[in-house]
Amino acid sequence: MIRINENFLKLQASYLFANIAKRVDAFQAQHADKSIIRLGIGDVTRALPQACIAAMHKAVDEMATDSTFRGYGPEQGYAFLREKVALHDFQNRGARIEADEIFISDGAKCDTGNMQELFATDIRVAIPDPVYPVYVDTNVMAGRTGGFQDDRYDGLVYLPCDENNNYVPQLPEERVDLIYLCFPNNPTGATIRKDQLKEWVEYARANKALILFDAAYEAFIQDDELPHSIYELEGAREVAIEFRSYSKTAGFTGTRCAYVVVPKECRAFTSDGREMAIHGLWNRRHSTKFNGVSYPVQRAAEAIYSDEGQAQVKALIDGYMKNAAYIRQSFQDLGFDCVGGENSPYVWINGRRDSWAFFDLLLSEAGVVCTPGAGFGKCGQHYIRISAFNSFENVEKAIARIQNVLS
């Protein structure tokens, strides 16, 4: 008989954002006349930069003529995009990354979820708490955990992030093999200093561990002293894989384009201690299971690095950061402790109550959708996350409604 992978049965009933969508849909069905302002899921609301649109149109026109038509492209991504990424995102910042160490994909969510396939099921995995759910759920699916109890999975090493450590996880007290880090952080919006990140690189080197570094929100960093890439740290090429995305940077949530960086020195080990280059393993997995991002989309992503594209992307980010600053200040004026919103489009708010109860209050009384912190882990129980991805007009309306309810 055909049998299922029973690790899937350990998963909680629904993905966090699917649960939120169900609650919002149910509310709207009962209150069809009430307008909803969505500041929950991190989806963008502004149109793609015009430079990207122009490049995409040109690429589509190329597909209409035999002489310029493109069929299957390289699974790793076209050289014209990989070379731009290497130069602008890394080399210009002093990080030694080459074009053939970059793999173009359809999303950082996919890459962070798929990367764990390369590693043994009996490794020890360290996960910050609160955390982006995909890191946890994909390891559950792979069989690296026990059951779910007391809001956590047995077998994972949780790294609490709260006010006491400024939402930056401390080094684990026990030895771990695979470490997930995300900065600027989703969900908290917290950032990490170079000296703090250096400690993680040194830990990984000393313990033959690997860091999966999610930098999907690096474009929102405003503080010049903060690292944009883990490869700004000496030794990181041996022990870190970095993930980037154009989803929030340039509004590609519906267009789908991202990339993962796997340096050639980055290594893992066999059961008998032999060193293996992860680059070749990922290239094999990527080529086997992925046919590449479409040519028009990659041309659109390339346009981000043009002078016009850079200016247009900056305008998008500046707009969202204006929203974030307004949200943060407004909640602080209401007496709430907040983090994020300064180098990140997310504001993490200590609601001092059950996070799902706070979610329901804002939805039912203010018509505003947030994200309950409990969905990100045990340490998020009394928090909510507010997203800056909306128009400033809608943010002002949402805050006015929230102020009316909470005042």
pLDDT tens column, 235-288: 999 999 999 999 999 999 999 999 999 999 999 999 999 999 999 999 999 999
Q: pLDDT tens-digit profile of 73-117?
A: 999 999 999 999 999 999 999 999 999 999 999 999 999 999 999
User: How are strands ordered across the β-sheet holding 125-129?
Assistant: 102-105, 258-261, 240-245, 210-214, 178-182, 125-129, 157-160
**Residue 131 to residues 149, 158, 248, 340, Cα–Cα distance (Å):** 17, 10, 18, 14
> Could you identify the residue written with the tokens 């882990």?
377
Helix (H) or strand (E) holding 393: helix 392-406
CATH architecture of 53-306: 3-Layer(aba) Sandwich (3.40)
Does position 40 have pLDDT exceeding 90, yes or no? no
Measured in degrees and rounded to the nearest 5, phi and psi for residue 258 equal -155, -175
Quick one: how far is CA 275 from the chain centroid? Answer: 29
Residues of the chain with CATH 3.40.640.10: 53-306
Q: For residues 209 and 179, what is the distance between their CA atoms, to the nearest angstrom? A: 7
Does position 14 have pLDDT exceeding 70, yes or no? no
Does position 167 have pLDDT exceeding 90, yes or no? yes
**Strand locations in 233-325 (E):** 240-245, 258-261, 267-269, 275-277
CB 42 within 8 A of CB 345: yes
According to the model, what pLDDT value does residue 17 have?
Answer: 79
> pLDDT band at residue 43, thresholds of 50, 70 and 90?
confident
Residues of the chain with CATH 3.90.1150.10: 6-47+308-406
What Rg do the C-alpha atoms of the chain give, in angstroms? Answer: 21
CATH architecture of 6-47+308-406: Alpha-Beta Complex (3.90)
Helix (H) or strand (E) holding 153: strand 152-153
CB atoms near residue 46 (< 10 Å): 15
Nearest C-alpha neighbor of 45 from the set 320, 398, 390, 396? 390
According to the model, what pLDDT value does residue 13 have?
Answer: 65
- Amino acid 338 reads C
Does position 157 have pLDDT exceeding 70, yes or no? yes
Q: For residues 351 and 269, what is the distance between their CA atoms, to the nearest angstrom? A: 44
Q: Structure pTM?
A: 0.96
According to the model, what pLDDT value does residue 32 have?
Answer: 87
CB atoms near residue 74 (< 10 Å): 11
Helix (H) or strand (E) holding 403: helix 392-406
Partner residues linked to 384 by β-bridges: 349, 372
For the four alpha carbons of 326, 166, 348 and 346, in that order, the dihedral sign comes to positive
CB atoms near residue 322 (< 10 Å): 13
CB atoms near residue 253 (< 10 Å): 18
